[in-house]
Structure 1
Amino acid sequence: MARKDIRRSPRGQRREPDRAAPSGWRAWVRRLFVWGVAAVLLVAVVTAIAVGVAASSLPSFSALKSSQQGQMIVVRARDGSELFTQGPSYGRWVRSADIPQVMKDAMVATEDRRFYSHIGIDPIGLLRASAVAVKNTDGLRATSTITQQLARNVFLNNSRSLGRKVREMVLAMALETRFSKDQILELYLNKVYFGGGAYGIDSASRKFFNHPATELTLPEAAIVAGLVKAPSHYAPTADAEAGRDRARVVLRLMAQNGKISWSEAEAADLDAVRLAPETGQNSVRYFTDWALPQLDVLLGESTEPIEVWTTLDPKLQSAGIDALKANAPGGAQGALVSLDRDGAVLALVGGTDYVSSNYNRATNAMRQPGSAWKLFVYLSALEAGYRPEDMVTDEPVTINGWSPRNDGRSYAGKINVRTAFAYSKNTVAAQLGNEVGFSTVAGMARRLGITTPISTYPSMVLGSNDVRVLDMTRAFATVSAKGHAIEPYGIVKVTTTDGQLLYQHRPSAGAQLVPDYVAAEMTDLLQSAVQIGTGRAAQIGRPVAGKTGTTSSNKDGWFLGFSSGVTTGVWMGRDDAKTVPGLQGGTAPARAFAQFMKVATATRPVEPFDTQAKAPEWQLEPDDQAQQGANPEDYYYVDDSGRLVDPRPPAAADDQPQPADEPAQQDADRPPAAAGDDFLNRATGRDEPAPAPTRSPPPRRTPAVQGPVVQPIPTATATRRPPPAQF
């Protein structure tokens, strides 16, 4: 009998025989299990620490309620009515207890059916999404819970990186540990984006159904809940049928999850839901595109919700767009600017349809003004000593090789200045511009607010320089204001949503840019142009002063004028500057002006024009100055380069005379800006009339004063054209 091999311990104790060692794969399985458990425990510990740290650093519930994405700007009209909201609109905060249960159920059933059972992330949903990803081999798709969406909306961005997803999960679990499910759902429903700038169910309800969220019905709640997936696609105002189809999916999900019965889902009549009409923001956007960028200067850095109270009159804005659409020739665009007597912009229309073209032709487009530019020619002539009754000769003329012609190529011979302006005689304007100096005309345009480059070729007197509608309207408003500077503005005040004043427009007396008697005589000429001249179509049954403008080949048509304290400029033409058959300033633009001004002045009293202002007494006779006590040193002058010059003798200055700065050249592509305070403060407008022109002098005489005086440019006889001066 064989003896078993029994091993003994060193003390002679009996030991069991050695067991067989585990095979290699079992050892690896055991190791992987141990490592896996350890890894899970490590991840759990790290996650717990991360969640704890995140939870401790989370803002309070009230702080989360007040946090917003971007700045909300409520734009209000002249009467305080709301025009529209720019940026995110949050509506009113709706407490959890006030949110209709159907809205809660619709959102949970659609976005996160296990919302009330998970810890911020949905493990079951993650496993299912992972299985689908492996099967379809197209990557893991997003499976964000409501809490994760809230964390992303409040704290993160929409990046699809893995790091962002991990942070989203940690924050979601932190939110779950800090707040209750009702609080999380309340935050989510008041902050989630529903499209069209609407954040939160109250904003969405008011936008789409025109009532607060507390009144949402089951069909409406289904429509709102369906928007979260793709707001721009399912918005009922964008595609009503797509919105209803998505709402039917929401109703089916609600029934499947037991939130409503199948009979309730079938009874929900989505076709009966009444949608709120779209607010009219078409033409208003031209105004806000010009006005709102000024907030950067008025307020500086600001992110809190604000309300901007503007000068815009909704009735007049609508009347402006109607006037352009009703009168603009086929294929032509139009622009309209209307200013109150203090410079407040009552209406600003940059085109016939903002949706099809948001290019603002009222503030950005630069077009030739044609004969409307004669405003500056005749202002310069009146300031130089001409009077409306003075006689001029309408006859062929050649200046530096340039021979202007009248419309129809007819000449009236001896006529007075008033008639020449009323019938827009080109030859007379050319002679006046040549006599007072083309640079003087350019200086006058600069003085009244023209910000675009100005060339002093002789043809400039007929409007060959490009201008903006806003600039030209401002210039005519200066004449209406008896020569005082007009500063167009569109913002009256800015407040926070709780009423705290952040900015208030302060009116100021405009500097005298041209003497009041010159403005009165210019008004006389402008009134004649409407009564008997080229602007007869602009008559509205009360005193109107204005001027037409038509460019060569009928590419541009203008009418600018004023009545009862309202100044309005109208331009029509094609964006490609092609000919518009039959377009003249005295036709379509004048008719559009009249249509608009009948509405704009309907509630204002009739105001006759003051055309009887007289020149200052010190201008009567040089020998009478001492007796009259006038002081011509109080006035300033514009030289041939358009610079303001101090007329005081050198002894009256500090050490030596310092010429005024030349007005800064502005970028032609930028919207117009106001002239600097330094320029306006010195541009008193009570300029010394220029020495008598080379023709027979008018009866008005000017005193001899010390200092530089504007010299007229004599009529040239050489054929060589001088280089143009730029202003």
Structure 2
Amino acid sequence: MSSSSSSSLDGESVDQESPRTRSWWKLFLLALVVIIALPFVAFGIYYARIEVPEPNEVATAQVAYIYASDGETELARIVPPDGNRKQISLDEVPAHVQDAVLAAEDREFWTNSGFSLSGFLRAGLGVITGNSSAGGGSTITQQYVKNVLVGNERSVERKLKELAYSIKMTNQWDKETILQAYLNTVYFGRNAYGIHSASQAYFDKPVSELTVEEGALLASLIQLPSQLDPWNDRQGSEARWNYVLDGMVEMGVIDAAQRADARFPETRDPAEYSAYTEATGPNGHIKDRVIAELESIGLTEQDVTTRGLQITTTIDMQTQNATLNAVEANLAGLQEDARAAVVSVEPATGAIRGYYGGDDGTGWDYANAPLQTGSTFKIFGLAAALQQGIPLTARYSSEPVTLPGGTTITNASGTCGTCSIEKALVQSYNTSFIRLQSDLANTTWDTADMAHALGMARELPGVGETLREQGGQPFDGIILGQYQTRAVDMSAALATLANRGVWHRTHFIEEVKASDGEVLYEFNPNQGERRVSAQVADNVMQAMGPIAGGSGAPLAGGRPSAAKTGTAQLGNTGYNKDAWMVGGTPQLMTSVWIGTADNTTPIFNAYGGNMYGANTPADIWKMTLDGALEGRDFEEFHPAEPVTYGGYGGRRAYARGRDVFSPNSTEQTTTSESSTSESSSATTSAGTSADPNSPNPGEPTPGGSEPQPDTPPSNTGGNVPAPPAPAPAPAPAPAPAPAPAPDPAPAPEAALAETF
């Protein structure tokens, strides 16, 4: 009985558990159905909702190429953030290179539907289990979709989108289009995206010249681009390369004999390619200027990074090579922190034909940096005087002159007593030009306005308004180069004078084309503006004519030139910190600056003495122009029609036997060689802006009146006395050698020393 009861209990127990077990099985099966069906439902939704773009609508980042004026010499590249890429057609890729990529990544590409089911399930399992090594197995179509449409986030949702896009793309695009798109976007390492860039990065050759072995190596890199670079893992790279070649045999695209003869190819040094594409040398500064100009002409960042731009610049390789050779040859003998800037501008067009801002293309660009110009700025005071009817024959005393604040200005090169302003320019007499400036209608304003009209920038980054004293009237030292300007602006202004007063916008870019051949921009060379009369410009060039020869830098073969030197002193130390040689020929105007890396320490010549414009700057200037113009015709400057007294509304102080200066002048620090103190240059703003009430505030007119083309200024009234008789020249006393001294207290203004 107990046995029967026990059996009954056992039976009841079994009967009670069976329904529960069956319920769990039902839940499990339902969950399994959901797990299996849900991805398919989601896939169906994605497939119905997504739209595959047309091939030409997929904007992929491409490299912009910067070329010299010949359209062939590559200077630099603008590489987008996601790498170095240039689009090419499938026809440009040899069949054996295409086959190598398929052998490496998708041997069933021509027959599959855009996806691999086994690869998809394996990758999905990896996402669910968190196993990142579960692998991919993605087809080429899936890889392309991931690269350009859905990204590489590890999620089931992303994988479903990838699958939907891949299948739909295969239905809408032909296989050749997909393969071309893939080859133009896939990453090969070394910052190279696409087969074109990869061919350059690894073999320094176009894709069309790749061998079977080289194509197989590039294909083998796709799986692990950086890790399988032969320079990082030669053994691993060779193993993957062999896998690709074996696959090509299996596919029937190469035979056993070709496979047996294959030898692992050597690749170029990655450092060599990286340095070239990143333009870390002098071309890096050209690249920066080109990028800035692209923005100014209205091309967007998207244009630059997605349209495969081919940018033809104004850089003439004969001029550029002459520039680089001149700098290298002449800086070699100077102190370690010596730096140089050289800019050459074509007067007839404003084209920048040569540009050097330093060897470090990612560092400071000295050609675009504000620097004190020294006596080169006398050119602009002279032009303003000529514009107002003061001729080259006007005579000025070169004796020391005392400013209202008590500062005495002297010359570094003695005196002439009283002599013509033309001779004073050649000898660079500071005192004569201080007197000349006081006779201008608006004194220092006119010097500044003339410089701006000829091409000096009105504002500079980090400086603000140029050629102004904290927005107000410039100090008297402006004519002696107290204020800062850039080498590129100096060349631009001189180019206007060499072009007989017609200004052209300085520019680096001649033409911009997209990769499809569309011309996006072309410079218009007929946009010149007259800024000063031809008569004034011709007279300035005449006055500058003897200076190159006097500086020991006559151009080869007696080629005519116009030039000026300049030097800025380092405080009251007696040492110089900036040295210039500027000028050129009717074909090319070149500005050369020499200084130190931080511009706060002295610069010495090759013999350890003070650096002057007639030293290294003149040597670089001559060597640059001789090389740039070799083989070109000799051109003369236009004969100057003399300016006669008249057409002038200012003062003639020197004729009244006294010195008259700007009422805004204040006390200055006296220096033995009429030099600007370092503290002064640090506390004065170097800047300018046009009068807002001017009809054309963007370009102020020198002397307050608009110059008429090719005609002398008209007489605006006022008595013009005859020049005074020359005073006897006193014997100049020898100046003692300056001893280094601590910087003086900040002074509002000082003059600059300059000598040949």
Could you say whether these structures have the same fold, taking a TM-score greater than 0.5 normalized by the shorter chain as the test? yes
Kept in 2, the 8 Å contact 1:299–1:502? The answer is no
Equivalent position to 2:402, from 395, 398, 401: 398
Equivalent position to 2:603, from 574, 577, 580: 580
Kept in 1, the 8 Å contact 2:390–2:646? The answer is no
Counterpart CA distance in 2 for 1:696 and 1:429 is: 19
- Aligned partner of 2:312 in structure 1 is 309
Distance 1:119 1:273, change over 3 A: same
Counterpart CA distance in 2 for 1:51 and 1:37 is: 21
Equivalent position to 2:37, from 35, 38, 41: 41
Alignment of 1:644-683 (within 5 A): 660-661=694-695, 663=697, 675=699, 682=706
Q: CA deviation at 1:552?
A: 0.6
Q: Percent of pairs identical after alignment?
A: 25
- Aligned partner of 1:441 in structure 2 is 447
1:557 matched to 2:579:
yes
Q: 2:496 is aligned with what amino acid?
A: T
Equivalent position to 1:174, from 165, 168, 171: 168
Q: Which moved more, 1:286-295 or 1:458-467?
A: 286-295
Q: CA deviation at 1:608?
A: 2.4
1:92 matched to 2:88:
yes
SS at match of 2:357: coil
Kept in 2, the 8 Å contact 1:559–1:593? The answer is yes
Deviations 1:433-473 (A, max 9, x none): 23321222122222222224213112222111111112111
- Aligned partner of 1:470 in structure 2 is 488
Q: CA deviation at 1:372?
A: 0.9
Distance 1:663 1:92, change over 3 A: same
- Aligned partner of 1:320 in structure 2 is 323
Kept in 2, the 8 Å contact 1:558–1:584? The answer is yes
Equivalent position to 2:561, from 533, 544, 547: 544
- Aligned partner of 2:25 in structure 1 is 29
- Aligned partner of 1:11 in structure 2 is none
- Aligned partner of 1:347 in structure 2 is 353
Distance 1:163 1:315, change over 3 A: farther
Kept in 2, the 8 Å contact 1:114–1:122? The answer is no
Alignment of 1:69-148 (within 5 A): 69-70=60-61, 73-83=64-74, 85-87=77-79, 89-95=85-91, 99-101=94-96, 103-106=98-101, 108-109=103-104, 111=105, 120=114, 122=116, 124-125=118-119, 144-148=138-142
Q: CA deviation at 1:366?
A: 0.6
SS at match of 1:362: helix
Equivalent position to 2:380, from 376, 392, 397: 376
Q: CA deviation at 1:663?
A: 3.6
Distance 1:335 1:92, change over 3 A: same
Counterpart CA distance in 2 for 1:144 and 1:403 is: 81
1:189 matched to 2:183:
yes
Distance 1:504 1:130, change over 3 A: closer
Q: TM-score, normalised by structure 2?
A: 0.72
Counterpart CA distance in 2 for 1:391 and 1:173 is: 89
Q: CA deviation at 1:589?
A: 1.4
Kept in 2, the 8 Å contact 1:336–1:349? The answer is yes
- Aligned partner of 2:297 in structure 1 is 298
Kept in 2, the 8 Å contact 1:324–1:352? The answer is no
Q: CA deviation at 1:193?
A: 3.3
1:570 matched to 2:564:
no
Counterpart CA distance in 2 for 1:682 and 1:246 is: 74
Kept in 1, the 8 Å contact 2:388–2:703? The answer is no
Q: CA deviation at 1:129?
A: 6.2
Distance 1:167 1:305, change over 3 A: same
SS at match of 1:30: helix
Q: CA deviation at 1:232?
A: 6.6
SS at match of 2:507: coil
Kept in 1, the 8 Å contact 2:97–2:212? The answer is yes
Counterpart CA distance in 2 for 1:494 and 1:408 is: 49
Distance 1:331 1:223, change over 3 A: farther
Counterpart CA distance in 2 for 1:145 and 1:509 is: 55
Distance 1:407 1:581, change over 3 A: farther
Q: Which moved more, 1:190-199 or 1:582-591?
A: 190-199
- Aligned partner of 2:425 in structure 1 is 421
Kept in 1, the 8 Å contact 2:395–2:421? The answer is yes
Counterpart CA distance in 1 for 2:55 and 2:493 is: 51
- Aligned partner of 1:627 in structure 2 is none
Kept in 2, the 8 Å contact 1:316–1:346? The answer is no
Kept in 2, the 8 Å contact 1:348–1:362? The answer is no
Q: CA deviation at 1:167?
A: 2.3
Q: 1:614 is aligned with what amino acid?
A: P
Deviations 1:207-261 (A, max 9, x none): 54354434432431233224435657766xxxx6237555314224336768579
- Aligned partner of 1:64 in structure 2 is 55
Deviations 1:27-85 (A, max 9, x none): 3133212331244234323323433554xx324xxx42674413554444323325255
- Aligned partner of 1:334 in structure 2 is 340
Counterpart CA distance in 2 for 1:198 and 1:294 is: 26
Distance 1:153 1:415, change over 3 A: same
Kept in 2, the 8 Å contact 1:222–1:248? The answer is no
Unaligned residue ranges in structure 2 (runs of 5+): 5-13, 460-465, 469-473, 571-575, 606-610, 649-663, 665-686, 726-746, 751-756
Unaligned residue ranges in structure 1 (runs of 5+): 5-17, 621-639, 646-657, 665-674, 700-720
SS at match of 1:521: helix
Counterpart CA distance in 1 for 2:693 and 2:101 is: 75
Q: 2:353 is aligned with what amino acid?
A: A
Kept in 2, the 8 Å contact 1:52–1:174? The answer is no
Q: 2:316 is aligned with what amino acid?
A: D
Counterpart CA distance in 2 for 1:269 and 1:419 is: 74
Kept in 2, the 8 Å contact 1:493–1:501? The answer is yes
SS at match of 1:333: strand
1:248 matched to 2:238:
yes
Q: 1:295 is aligned with what amino acid?
A: L
Aligned positions, number: 632
Counterpart CA distance in 2 for 1:427 and 1:136 is: 83
Counterpart CA distance in 2 for 1:688 and 1:643 is: 27
Counterpart CA distance in 2 for 1:212 and 1:538 is: 46
Q: 1:530 is aligned with what amino acid?
A: A
Q: 2:373 is aligned with what amino acid?
A: P
Q: CA deviation at 1:615?
A: 3.9
Q: 2:315 is aligned with what amino acid?
A: L
Distance 1:680 1:176, change over 3 A: farther
Kept in 2, the 8 Å contact 1:100–1:214? The answer is no
Q: Which moved more, 1:306-315 or 1:547-556?
A: 306-315
- Aligned partner of 1:386 in structure 2 is 390
Counterpart CA distance in 1 for 2:257 and 2:19 is: 63
Q: Which moved more, 1:22-31 or 1:374-383?
A: 22-31
Counterpart CA distance in 1 for 2:112 and 2:242 is: 23
Distance 1:50 1:408, change over 3 A: closer
Structure possessing the higher relative contact order (Cα contacts under 8 Å, 6 or more residues apart): 2
Deviations 1:353-376 (A, max 9, x none): 244x3443323x111111111111
Counterpart CA distance in 1 for 2:633 and 2:749 is: 50
Kept in 2, the 8 Å contact 1:435–1:693? The answer is no
